[in-house]
Structure 1
Amino acid sequence: MNILFVCSRNKWRSRTAETIYKNQGTHNFKSAGTENSARIRVNLEHINWADIIFVMEKKHKQRIQKKFDLNLRDYNFVILDIEDNYQYMDEGLIQILKDSVDPYL
């Protein structure tokens, strides 16, 4: 299964998620951001690659839909509701991600 994590700038939340899951071995993981200043900007190739798209906030799903003019029924989005209050690899963020994402894996 291909899993994409998305936040705004791909510096803290989505990047942390990719880092903690990428060596798991059972699935493929990538991360990207919705902003022009993102470390890795989300593109249509990412969206089409992913079986599940975990977005940190509802606004990320909305930005993706608007940018790529998507019919969202064709994609599997999960809104994690994780606000931008964490640094990269913050222990609290890691725990929230594991509690939120693990049931889908």
Structure 2
Amino acid sequence: MPNLLFICSKNQWRSPTAELLFKNHHIHLAKSAGTSDKARIKVNQKMIAWADLIFVMERKHRQILEQNFQESIAHKPIIVLHIEDKYQFNHPELIYILQTSLQDYL
């Protein structure tokens, strides 16, 4: 069962919405985290180690991971979803974009 980690800045809207799409999924487990010091759940080494695939909402999140977890992410796929920080938690448009972007995993 592949472990999916979704990352945005504050772990309030985008990444928790993505995580929710995988709640009770029969193939994948999902978690979410943020890169900011103000994140609800801040990404850490344990989460990076747990993840088989890492999805970030923007390029800047990938860059932060590369700076802070360089060795840990060296052999992990990191997929940039290119989803701007303009959606509230569980917003229908955000769900649609995530479903479209993640259709191969849902």
Q: Same fold (TM over 0.5)?
A: yes
Bigger proportion of residues as helix: 1
Superposition pairs of residues 55-70 of structure 1, within 5 angstroms: 55-70=56-71
1:80 aligned onto 2:43: no
With the length of structure 1 as denominator, give the TM-score of the two structures. 0.93
Is 1:10–2:11 an aligned residue pair? yes
Structure 2: stretches of 5+ with no match in the other structure:
none
Amino acid at match of 1:49: W
Pairwise CA RMSD: 1.3
The answer for the alignment partner of 1:19 in structure 2 is 20
Amino acid at match of 2:13: W
> Structure 1 residue 40 and structure 2 residue 51: aligned?
no
Q: Percent identity?
A: 49
Tell me, in whole angstroms, the C-alpha distance in 2 between the residues paired with 1:29 and 1:72.
17
Q: Which residue identity is paired with 1:85?
A: K
**Number of residue pairs the alignment of both structures matches:** 105
Structure 1 residue 69: Cα displacement = 2.9
Output the CA distance in 2 between the equivalents of 1:34 and 1:25: 28
Stretches of structure 1 that go unaligned for 5 or more consecutive residues are none
What letter matches 1:7 in structure 2?
C
Alpha-carbon distance between aligned partners in 2 of 1:68 and 1:51, rounded to the nearest angstrom: 15
Stretches (4+) displaced over 4 A: none
Q: TM-score, normalised by structure 2?
A: 0.92
